[in-house]
Amino acid sequence: QQPVQSPQAVILREGEDAVINCSSSKALYSVHWYRQKHGEAPVFLMILLKGGEQKGHEKISASFNEKKQQSSLYLTASQLSYSGTYFCGTVWQYNTDKLIFGTGTRLQVFP
Amino acid sequence: DTGVSQDPRHKITKRGQNVTFRCDPISEHNRLYWYRQTLGQGPEFLTYFQNEAQLEKSRLLSDRFSAERPKGSFSTLEIQRTEQGDSAMYLCASGPAGTGGNNSPLHFGNGTRLTVT
- Maximum C-alpha span of chain B: 43
Does residue B113 contact residue B7 with C-beta atoms inside 8 Å?
Answer: no
Sequence letter at residue B19: V
In chain A, which residue's Cα lies nearest the Cα of B57? A98
Q: CA B60, CA B62: separation in Å to the nearest integer?
A: 5
Does residue B42 contact residue A102 with C-beta atoms inside 8 Å?
Answer: yes
Query: Please, what is the Cα angle at B92 between B18 and B17, to 5 degrees?
Result: 5
pLDDT confidence tier of residue A49, bands split at 50, 70 and 90: confident
Question: What's the burial of B81, exposed, middle or buried (CB within 10 Å: 0-12/13-18/19+)?
Answer: exposed
Among candidates A41, A94, A99 on the partner chain, residue whose Cβ is nearest the Cβ of B110: A41
Question: What pLDDT was estimated at residue B98?
Answer: 65
Q: Before A3, cis peptide (omega within 30)?
A: no
Question: What pLDDT was estimated at residue B77?
Answer: 97
Over residues A86-100, mean pLDDT: 86
Question: What pLDDT was estimated at residue A67?
Answer: 86
Neighbour tally for B69: CB within 10 Å: 22
Chain B residues closer than 8 Å to A40 by CB:
110
Does residue A95 contact residue A30 with C-beta atoms inside 8 Å?
Answer: no
Query: Are residues B42 and A102, on separate chains, in Cβ contact within 8 Å?
Result: yes
Question: What pLDDT was estimated at residue B11?
Answer: 98
How confident is chain B (117 residues) per 10-residue block, as mean pLDDT? 90 98 94 94 94 88 88 94 96 82 83 97
Neighbour tally for A106: CB within 10 Å: 17
Q: CA A104, CA A88: separation in Å to the nearest integer?
A: 7
Query: Please, what is the Cα angle at A3 between A64 and A5, to 5 degrees?
Result: 80
Q: CA A79, CA B107: separation in Å to the nearest integer?
A: 24
Cross-strand bridge partners of residue A21 = A6, A72
Neighbour tally for A24: CB within 10 Å: 20
Over residues A39-61, mean pLDDT: 81
Q: CA B98, CA A18: separation in Å to the nearest integer?
A: 31
Over residues A57-71, mean pLDDT: 86
Query: Are residues A41 and B91, on separate chains, in Cβ contact within 8 Å?
Result: yes
Over residues A99-110, mean pLDDT: 95
Question: What pLDDT was estimated at residue B96?
Answer: 87
In chain A, which residue's Cα lies nearest the Cα of B45? A100
Sequence letter at residue B80: Q
Chain A residues closer than 8 Å to B58 by CB:
none
Among candidates B101, B105, B106 on the partner chain, residue whose Cβ is nearest the Cβ of A93: B101
